[in-house]
Homo-oligomer: A and B are copies of this chain.
Amino acid sequence: MGYVSGLKCRECGREYPVDPIYVCEFCFGPLEVVYDYKKIKKVLTKKNIEKRPKSLWRYKELLPIDGEPQVGLKSGFTPLIKADNLAKELGVKELYVKDDTVAHPTLSFKDRVVAVALTKAKEFGFDTVACASTGNLAHSVSAHGAKAGFKRFVFIPATLEPSKIVASLVYEPNLVAVDGNYDEVNRLCSEIANKYRWAFVNINIRPFYAEGSKTQGFEIIEQLGWKAPDNVVVPCASGSLLTKVWKAFKEFKEIGILKELETKVFAAQATGCSPISTAIKQGVDVIRPVKPNTIAKSLAIGNPADGFYATQVVKETGGYGEDVSDEEVVEGIKLLAKTEGIFAETAGGVTIATTKKLIEQGKINKNETTVVCITGNGLKTQEALTGRTVDVHYIKPNLAAFEEVLKKISN
C-alpha cells in the first residue's frame, strides 16, 4: 500500500515498474522513483508528521517503500543547530548547520540512504546486500545490514586507510579489497550485480537508495518551523544529495506543506575534485571528468553520475558552485569545531569553507537564512588534521609549570 506509481527514465521519460533496475533500456538514462502526490497530499500533513517518532521514516509516504519501515528505525532526524557563533564569524544574520555527524548508527548521512535501500531490499526479497564504497557507505551497509540480518558484501579499493577498514570489519561483513581505484571497484560490482541476485545499494537499488537523501531536506524544512531557507549549501560527490535535497523541498511544495519556495541551492566541492563546481562556474552543461586529488575522499568522485542534474538544480534556483583547497578544508573543519563544537569530516570542511567563500563573494546574501549540510563525523578523517591543529602545552605536574603556560597564553 505504498505511494509509488513506478520508475521513470530521467532522460526520455519512459516508464518502468518497481523493480531492482536502475538504467533505461532504451536511452541508458538513470531511473527515478515517481510518486502519486495527490494521494500523498491527503495523508502526509504537518500534523500527522509531528505525531510520529523522530526518525527519517516520519516522511515514509515520500519514500519508495510499500509496507512498513524495516531498517534504520532510529536513523535520521539529526539536529539542526542554530549556528550563531559561526554566523557571527562569517558575518551573516542567520545560519544553521544540519548535523549528520551524529547520524545513527554510523555517523554519516549514508545511514539515511542505506536505511531506505535495505528496507526496499527486504521488500524485493533479497537476502544479500552489497556496495562499492570508499568509507562511509561501507560502514553503513555493514552496520544496518548486520542489524537487519542480511548477508553483506562490501567492496573497497585496497588502498583505503586501515582505520576505515577496521571501522567496517568490526561489523563482520565480507569485506573485499580490490586492487584498483574506485572506478574499477564500481565496474567489478556492476558485473557481479548482473550475475548474482544481490541488492547492490548504490547500483541496482540506486533509484530507491538515492531517495533516502531527501530526508535531509524534509528535516531541514520541518526543523526550521515548516519554512524553506533562503540558501542551502550541499557538498557534492556524485551530486545526488544536492538533487535530492532540492527534490524534497519541491515535494513539500507539491503536497502543500510549503506555501513558498524560493531557496537557492549551492554546490560545494574540493578543488582537487571539482567537476561540478567547475561546470557551474564556467556556465557549461557538460561535466568534464577529473582525476581526484584531495583529502576530501568521501567527495572524490571524478565522474559524478548526477553531476549534470546537480548543475541544473543550481542554475534553476539561482544558486552557484564553488570549490576550496585542501588547506581551506582543514580551516573549515577547525572553524566549525571552535565556533559550534561540531567535529565534521573533510566533506564538512569543504562545505564550511565553500560557504565562507560564497559569502565573501556576495553570492550568499548576508541578510538571508542559510543552511549548510554537514554529512559525516570528523573522527572518520582525523588524519587530515595531524600537524594542523593548535599546539599542546607540555608541562611537569606542578603549579609553577602550569603558571608558566598561563603567562605565555596571556602574552
- Given A103-B102, A104-B102, answer yes or no on A144-B392 (Cβ-Cβ < 8 Å): no
Selected from B102, B188, B343, the residue in CB contact (under 8 A) with A102 is B102
Please measure, in the bound complex, the distance between the C-alpha atom of A146 and the C-alpha atom of B390, giving whole angstroms: 14
Complex contact B85–A81 (CB within 8 A): no
Complex contact B341–A167 (CB within 8 A): no
Complex contact A337–B177 (CB within 8 A): no
Query: Chain B nearest CB: distance from A70 CB in Å?
Result: 13
- Given A378-B170, A394-B179, answer yes or no on A341-B146 (Cβ-Cβ < 8 Å): yes
Selected from B143, B184, B191, B341, the residue in CB contact (under 8 A) with A341 is B143
15 example contacts (A-B, Cβ-Cβ < 8 A) are as follows A79-B104, A101-B105, A106-B343, A107-B107, A146-B341, A163-B382, A165-B392, A169-B390, A171-B338, A172-B337, A174-B409, A175-B393, A177-B392, A180-B397, A192-B402
The 3 tightest CB contacts between A and B, nearest first, are A143-B341, A147-B341, A169-B389
Complex contact A188–B399 (CB within 8 A): yes
Point out residues on A near B: beta carbons under 8 Å.
54, 74, 79, 81, 85, 99, 101-107, 142-147, 149, 158, 162-163, 165-167, 169-172, 174-180, 184-185, 187-188, 191-192, 195, 333-334, 337-343, 377-380, 382, 385-386, 389-390, 392-399, 402, 405, 409
Query: Chain B nearest CB: distance from A203 CB in Å?
Result: 14
Query: Chain B nearest CB: distance from A46 CB in Å?
Result: 17
Known contacts A162-B386, A169-B385; 19 further A-B pairs (Cβ under 8 A): A54-B54, A74-B79, A105-B341, A106-B343, A143-B343, A146-B338, A158-B394, A163-B382, A167-B343, A170-B343, A170-B389, A171-B338, A172-B337, A172-B389, A172-B390, A177-B392, A180-B397, A188-B397, A379-B379
Selected from B188, B337, B409, the residue in CB contact (under 8 A) with A171 is B337
Please measure, in the bound complex, the distance between the C-alpha atom of A395 and the C-alpha atom of B177, giving whole angstroms: 6
Which residues of the other chain, B, contact A74 by a CB distance below 8 angstroms?
Answer: 79, 81, 99
Which residues of the other chain, B, contact A333 by a CB distance below 8 angstroms?
Answer: 170
Query: Chain B nearest CB: distance from A87 CB in Å?
Result: 13
Query: Chain B nearest CB: distance from A309 CB in Å?
Result: 28
Which residues of the other chain, B, contact A107 by a CB distance below 8 angstroms?
Answer: 102, 107, 377, 379
Query: Chain B nearest CB: distance from A296 CB in Å?
Result: 16
Complex contact B191–A399 (CB within 8 A): yes
Please measure, in the bound complex, the distance between the C-alpha atom of A212 and the C-alpha atom of B386, giving whole angstroms: 33
